[in-house]
Amino acid sequence: GAGVSQSPSNKVTEKGKDVELRCDPISGHTALYWYRQSLGQGLEFLIYFQGNSAPDKSGLPSDRFSAERTGGSVSTLTIQRTQQEDSAVYLCASSRQGAFTEAFFGQGTRLTVV
Amino acid sequence: GESVGLHLPTLSVQEGDNSIINCAYSNSASDYFIWYKQESGKGPQFIIDIRSNMDKRQGQRVTVLLNKTVKHLSLQIAATQPGDSAVYFCAENAGGTSYGKLTFGQGTILTVHP
């Protein structure tokens, strides 16, 4: 596709359930990022993938959060045993290698934990 | 810890005026600074970036100024248009082991009145 695609666009889940959020980056982009945006707040870094290098997981808030990137393309962010404080918009971005300042963002997945 | 923040949470201007959005940062090791525009329901969109070895950079109708002495960043938008109405975020990156990891400010809401 022409841009970064995220699915689902909206997700409502019950507290304690696991959720998977998907990101399809722009074709050819080797770098992929996940951020979280709470209501009225700036973006909070979660994790960064670059090519075959080990991902930078320093932003993951707890061990309930994990992410993987298969085949250097599609990425899945998994949140286990969701809590109400996990409610936020989860944004994925991708960029060319070495061009992280020009990352292209998807529209995000709005996660609501009830 | 490091943080990036904005002086003004909201800014209202008349169409045709010039807009200035300000941002303060605290990490003196930051090497990259980026401005993003986020419209309602969309992911952030890259506007312009600047490296720490520069103090000014111009784009189309936008200029970013960096004052490292006082750790201040600003975005100037010339001849502001209603389509410029959005939330504007500054972000910074320290490079090195933080490569790819952006720290975002809280955002400024820009409203342009016709």
Q: pLDDT digit string (tens) for A28-63?
A: 999 999 999 987 778 999 999 988 888 999 999 999
Give the pLDDT score at B1. 34
Q: State residue B63 phi and psi, 5-degree precision.
A: -135, 135
| C-beta atoms of A101 and B99 within 8 A | no
pLDDT band at residue B26 using 50, 70 and 90 as cut-offs: confident
Strands, E assignment, chain B: 4-5, 10-14, 19-25, 32-38, 45-51, 56-58, 62-67, 72-77, 86-93, 103-104, 108-113
CB contacts, 8 Å: B102 with chain A: 33, 35, 43, 45, 100, 103
Reference A22, options A103, A106, A113, A112; nearest CA is A106
Q: pLDDT digit string (tens) for B32-67?
A: 999 999 999 899 999 999 999 999 999 999 999 999
Of A4, A100, A102, the CB nearest to B100: A100
Instruction: Give the separation between CA B12 and CA A46, rounded to whole angstroms.
Output: 32
| C-beta atoms of A104 and B46 within 8 A | yes
| C-beta atoms of B101 and A56 within 8 A | yes
| C-beta atoms of A101 and B104 within 8 A | no
- B107 pLDDT more than 70: yes
- Report CA B76 to chain centroid distance, whole Å: 9
How many interface pairs between A and B have CB atoms less than 8 angstroms apart? 57
Of B4, B43, B105, the CB nearest to A106: B43
B56 touches chain A (CB under 8 A): no
pLDDT band at residue A93 using 50, 70 and 90 as cut-offs: very high
- For A108, the closest chain B residue by CA position comes to B43
Cα–Cα distances in Å, from B68 out to A79, B13, B27, B50, B87? Answer: 39, 27, 10, 12, 24
Share of chain A above pLDDT 90, in %: 78
- DSSP lists the bridge partners of residue B86 as B110
pLDDT band at residue A10 using 50, 70 and 90 as cut-offs: very high
| C-beta atoms of A107 and B41 within 8 A | yes
Q: State residue B13 phi and psi, 5-degree precision.
A: -135, 165
Give the pLDDT score at B3. 45
pLDDT band at residue A1 using 50, 70 and 90 as cut-offs: low
Q: pLDDT digit string (tens) for B67-103?
A: 999 999 999 999 999 999 999 999 998 777 677 788 9
Give the pLDDT score at A52. 84
Give the pLDDT score at B61. 96
pLDDT band at residue B6 using 50, 70 and 90 as cut-offs: very low
> A37 by DSSP, 3-state: which?
strand
CB contacts, 8 Å: B73 with chain A: none
